[in-house]
Structure formats: C-alpha cells, structure tokens
Chain A
C-alpha cells in the first residue's frame, strides 16, 4: 500500500508545476575537473569513462556500488548494502584501485575496498578506467581504476546545500555542502549521515522444518543495519589561474552489522556481528603551471582502522604518509612529457604481524610521454618502476594511441588502443599474517590489450556515440589462499579475461521532449588457464563473473521535470568451483522522477523519487544472501545561491 502510494506520488510529480521560476534539472554548475583531462591526455588509448552529471546526481543518496552497477557495464558482488566488491573485467576486487587524489583507498591488509562504504554525496564526479592502469596508479590496478573527483568551484560568496532523503527499510540520508570563498580562497565542507535498517522481506529458501514440511517461507532480513557518516573539508587557494593549492581532508566512520546468510538469519535471529571502519584521508597539493616546466608537489596521510565484533584488542590498523612530486614540460603543442616520483611509508599495526615489521617504504618512479604525431594520430608512452622494501616490483610500461579514422560534418570515427602491463604487490596480510603469511610471494602480473572504436554523431537535433571496446587481459601469479596443510597464500593461477564492451548514448527529441537514452552491454569471458590447485576448473568461467551483462537507461526532460527508467540484466554466475551452486540470471527495472523549482534568484528546491526493482525480482548477488525487493527513495535538496 505504501509503495502504491509512493508510486502515485512519484507519478504526480511529473505533472507538478511550480508557480516560481523554473530551471533545468542539474546540479550546481561546476568547472571541468583537471585530473581527468590529464588522465586521458597521457593515456590516449585507454578507456576512461566519466559518469554523466545527471546520472551521478541521481545516485547521490547512495553508494559507489549503486552508482556503478546502475550506470556502467560493471559487475559487483554485493549483499544488501553492507558489503560490495567490484569485479572489473573479470578481475578480483583487489585488482581495481579506488583513488581519492593520490590516495588508493584499498585496504593495505585486505587489498580491496567496500564499495557500499563509499558515499556518493561527498563527491562531484566519478571516473572509471577500464583495463590495466598500474602505470598511472601503481600497484593493484590490474583490472582498472576508479577515481573519485572533487571539483574546484572557486566560489565567490556563500553557497549552500542541504539534502534529506528517505527510503524503504529505514533508509535515511542527511547531507550538507557549504561553499565559502572570495574567488581565490575557497572552503568547501561536505558532510553526510546515512543509516539503513535493512529489514526487508524476502523469501527464505533455507528453512528446514521437517516436522511441518516447510522448506521456504516469507522472512525478514534482521541485523544488517548500516550507519555511516563522513565529512570532507576542502581548503583551496588560487594564487592565479596557473598556481593553485588544494587541501582535502576526508573523515569517514562506517559501521554495519555484517549481513548473515539466509539460514543464519532464520536460525539466529538475534545474532549481531558488528564491523566498524574508521578512516582519515588527507591529500594536499600545490600546483604551479606558470612556466614551461610545470610542477606539482603533493602530500598525504591515511589512517585506516577496522574493528570486528567490537574487539578492540585485535588491532587491524595501517597508517600511510605519502609524498609525490612531478614536473610536466610541454615542448610544444604536440609534444609533452611528465616525470615524477611518489614515496610512501606505511606503518602497519595488525595483531598477527611480527613486531619486527615496523614500517615498509615504497617508491614509484614514473614517466609519461605525449606526442600528437599529426592531426589524426596521438600516441602516449607511460613507464613506471616501483621499489618496495625487501620486495621486487616489475617494471610496467604502457603504449597507447588514438587515431581519427575520419571526421565529417556530422560524425567522426576514432580508433584507440593500448598495451599495458600491470602488477599488484601482495597485501600485508598475504605477506605477514602470523606464521602463514609468505613474504616470498611473487607480485601478480597483468598484461592488457585494448582496442576500441568510438563513433560520434551530431546534428541540430540529435547527438550521441557508439563505442565498442575489445580487450584481452592476462593475469599471472594470481594469489589465492590455499589449504596445503595450513592455509597460506600462494601464487596459484593464471587467468585470462577477454571480452567486448558496447556503450552507446543518444541525446534526441522525443515528441518534442529532450531525451537521453543509453545502452551498455558487456561480454566478459574470464577463465583460469593454469592452476597449481587441480580442483580449480580450468577453462570454465570464473566465479561471480557473469558472461553477459547489460543495462539500458533513458531520461526525458520536460521543462523542469526529469523522468527516467533504467534496467539491468545480469547473466547467471558460478559461485564456486563446482558446477552446481549457480546464481540465476536476473533483471532489475527502476524508475525515477525529479522536479526542480527555483523559488527565487537565490533559492531552489529539488525533489527526486526513485522506485527500484519494480518487478520485485527475487535475486541474489552473493550466494545465499537475500536482496531487497521493490523499494523507494525520495530526496529533497535545498540550494542557496
């Protein structure tokens, strides 16, 4: 009944007309983010996608998991909002780096990030690099890299935003953004509080009542609550257009009860397993572009702490101090290069590590070269050599190109490609966990071949693109923990991932209404080719990597109102090495509507509503863990200035 009411409410928004002045639905207009431009410039053959502002805005109340799974052909293995890990191009979660400034968010102990704990409200933009990116991001970017972006607005005066959202299963988000500045100095404060009770209903198929012959029943998820809070404080100063200082401090505290699988949810209704993460991430940078040789000096500090089951005795904590310096020299408009070095000192404090392990040093030297050979062809070379205390890191070069095949009045076709080597230094747990860690593990090594075509079309009424990328990625020395007689990490397997990704988006007029529609499809064939462990099924699709995924989205805008639908198909997935425990394919359909009202010159209100999983699909993303059925979220945003 409640959902029906909400549905009617959302539909009614479409017809809602304000007496005030109206504007198009959009976020605060922001400047171009420099970092993505640089990323693309020196990696001309790489596939780097930035999520469109409209899509990004729609998912500001949620996590990175929701954003990525709804907008890009990316697979995530998730529970209901408590834990989500990425499988980019069939690789493992620790093969994708998540970057904030020069900080890789991935845990140094586990090697991965929980995508459910990265709040989109704190950021302005997210970019995803598909395929190996170690030459730019260092260790761990075998499958790709995610970049969390903040934009410099150089506000004059004061701007503010307050946001509140409410959703099914006790979901609430409260957030604010405050911009204060004089055009040169700027303070931006972003803060949020998010909670979710996660008490959704589902069909529990793991009930075993032999006496009453009941083997499934309607159940309710218990003890999977989430409570996250965070703050980002920016202090930026613009000496001139070519000389800037930025200071970003991100404080995050995430708490959740670890969602139990269906059988435990039923049999242990009072069982609670809390997990808490605390993070301090500081990144500051001074950039000077006044002379032919531009330079940037950056520094950072990271504190990560995890507490499982309220056990504060078993410390799992790491601290990092980071320094980076690079210079960029534009020899002329066609040739430029960049060289730099990044230094980190890591202090691990983990209860199972030897006390002899006080710290580890890492130094990365890198160089990038850009050459616009002619009007049509650009080429780039990236080189990186890492040095780690008592550990050998492979040299990782990348070669890339972009070629304009043709350019006509209304359309153009580009081809791009690259060959990139990548690597991952084993995690601290892999190397130093008690007696089981193995400091002699070899680094995982990847090589990625990429070839893509992008056709752009534009006329007065219609614009869009069709992009087709094919890739081949080989990851060798893939590390897994195996039971030899005790559990130890080993360089177990070589995995081959190949596939194609089709992405297309079109802006057009539909019955006089501005419409944007897009379709993404990915085919990812990921198979172990060799393995030390003979129980691993060689030549079979890897666990939690669906062969086919696709999504479609469409947004139509009428005056100040947006109406969107999006849907996603995920193919069946193996969940282990047997051919038995397979997750069924599933299809999710979502609907959203947004309305923006300009109250006066300085104040506007934006209201958005979403209905998710409209068909109430019963599906699982992680074997044995329930996912929510149909649910809603409504948000209200108030902007001043």
Chain B
C-alpha cells in the first residue's frame, strides 16, 4: 500500500515537473529579446545563435540548436526581424531561412532556389528583397541581383539583375536603395517599375542606416578591388537623392554590422580601425553626431583587436570581438562614454545583434 502510494506520488511529481517545464517553455522569448548572430567558421562549424537574457544579464550560446535539436548548416551573413519571423541570410549552404520570432523554431525549409550568396534583406509588404552576389562577384560584377521573395509562397518570384555586388539595402518611400560593394554608386530601384537609377559615389558602399527622417547614411569604404581615399559616411537625402560625404579614415570594410545608431538617433557609432600608441592597427568605434554632422575628435572606444561589428542596446554600446573564425568570440558592452561594462563569450565570429521589436 505504501509502495502504491509512493508510486502515485512519484508519477504525480513527474507530471508536475513536466508541466513546470512546459510552463518554462511557454515563456519563450519574444519582443524585446536580443540575439547575437555568430557567423561561424566558413570551412568548419557553421553559424550559431546566442540569446541575451536582459533580466538576468546572461548570454546563452547555442540557442538555435537547443530549440531545434540540429545545428545551422549555413553561415548567417545577416538576420532580419519581420512580421513574426526572423529571416536569416545563409551562405554555404546558400539559403534564406527563417524561424519563429517567439519560439525560434524552424518548421519550414529554407529557400535555396535562385538564392546564391545572399547578403542582406529588407521587407516591404509581402515581399522580402534579398541582395545576392550570384557567385564570385569579385570576378564578374554582372552576376549579382536582387531576389524578390514572395513571403506567402516562400519562393523567389523574380531575380532582378543588379551588377556591382549589392550588399546593404534600405527601403524608403517606394524606393529600394542598394549599397554596391564593387561599383562606386548606390543603386535606387523604383519598387513599382523595378527600374534602377544610380547615385554616383566616391567610394564603394557597404551598409545603410535609416535615420528618423527616413534619410540614409551609407558607409563609404576602400576595398581591394575599388580603392579610394574618399571614405567615411555618406548622407543621402532620400527626397532628392543628393549625396554628401563626411570623411572618416579607416571605416571598416568588413561584412559585418559596422554601424549602429543610439536610441534617439542623435549619434551613429561607426566601426573603424586606428593605430594605437604602439602604432599597432586595432579596431575602434567612432562617433558621428547627427545634429552637427561631424565626427567626434576622439574614438569612444579604441584598441579593440578583432572588432567584428557594433550595436546599440538598452542604452549600451556593444562591440563584437572575433580575432579568428576558429574560436568563440566576445560580446562586449560599454557605457556611452566608452567605459567597459561587461564581456560575454559568444559563438564563433559574432557579427550582429538582433533585437526582436
């Protein structure tokens, strides 16, 4: 009798524990949750996702794998939150795949048809526009295109040819702006007609940030194939498409999140390189005042070897550190005056912070 009672008690306890566990799962993250996207190694292990628990100030690695029980098979170049999903631009395997923004579960297969070397994306209505290099764009700049993905059918509805290696994208008032990484211009596509016009630039571009008046800042960089001394931040008035360059030496040409704005968009943080006191080249974060349209004389953060992206979250400036693609990196937070707050270990090659809005 006693054994029977104990058995029932044990079963009940197990069920209770299971329910508790389920309850924990139900508290899955959603709005306000932040994820660190780790690019991974190109020839070794692929991307991983770290989740940041703001309440307990803890970063937990391997989140995608923990939720889906399998690892990611691509290097995620960029992640984008839209309409309940987080879309990820996967390379090698080339695919656009997505997870639920709340549960982080992947239930559908990624899109692989007509997706070759996807770089960045932006959505408008029911379409996701994906910049694709289309192959070895450094050998042939005509390979690249914009993939227009129908988010209902989850298919590439159209490949819109765009030579010059489109990287960062932004949509303003019916126009898709594409930063061209292998051509000194910014492409502007009318979303209705899908015709392009071009804004001539003094250097190649990599990414955009849209300000609170829907104008754009574009990074202007010097690259091996398109060297330039006229680099810095370009301001594009999206009403007139006028271009103005604010020069800054050493703007990063990395394919990571090299720019981030603070909460009220008064400041832009730009990843750069600079020489330290020992004349060693290291990473730094430069500050651009959007009111005065000028860079502050001193870098807010300097001497970060292996800097691999910047972010801004919870009134903190963030940097990602990744000296290699074969070891775990770091997510580092700073106060806005550049004081180091905390370092967190991430997966391999962290490159961006994604906050679910």
Contact = CB atoms under 8 A, between A and B. Distances in A.
Interface of A: 206, 208-211, 215, 261, 263-264, 266-268, 309, 311, 313, 352, 434-435, 480, 482-486, 488, 532-537, 543, 575-578, 580-581, 622-624
Nearest to B65: A580
Contacts of A543: 326
B94 interface: yes
A263 B93 contact: yes
Interface in B269-322: 271-273, 280-284, 305-308, 321-322
Interface stretch (B105-113, B172-180, B194-202, B232-240): B105-113
A580 B45 contact: yes
B327 A484 contact: no
Q: Is the interface of A mostly helix, strand, loop or mixed?
A: loop
A169 B322 CA distance: 40
B85 interface: no
Contacts of B30: none
A208 B110 contact: yes
**Centre residue among B92, B95, B250 by max chain A CB count within 10 A:** B92
B119 interface: no
The 8 closest A-B pairs by CB, nearest first: A577-B327, A485-B273, A535-B327, A485-B283, A263-B73, A576-B326, A581-B45, A267-B93
**Centre residue among A482, A485, A543 by max chain B CB count within 10 A:** A485
Interface string B338-357: 00000000011000000000
Contacts, number: 127
A624 to B, nearest CB: 7
Interface in B99-117: 106-110, 112
B109 A209 contact: yes
Contact of B139 (A211, A311, A484): A311
Interface in B40-76: 41, 43-46, 62, 70, 73-74
B109 A535 contact: no
Interface residues of B, number: 50
Contacts of A624: 43-45
Contact of B306 (A261, A435, A533, A578): A533
Contacts of B184: none
B224 interface: yes
B336 interface: no
Interface string B209-234: 00000000000000010000000000
9 contacts: A208-B73, A266-B93, A267-B73, A483-B324, A485-B305, A535-B321, A535-B329, A576-B44, A578-B327
A10 B28 CA distance: 61
Contacts of A435: 224
Nearest to A481: B324
Given A261-B43, A581-B44, A309 B326 contact: no
A581 B38 CA distance: 15
Contacts of B252: 485
A267 B330 contact: no
A534 B110 CA distance: 36
Contacts of B330: 535
Nearest to A314: B139
A263 B74 contact: yes
Contacts of B139: 309, 311, 313
Given A211-B107, A267-B94, A533-B306, 9 more contacts: A211-B108, A352-B224, A483-B306, A485-B252, A485-B272, A533-B324, A535-B324, A577-B327, A578-B327
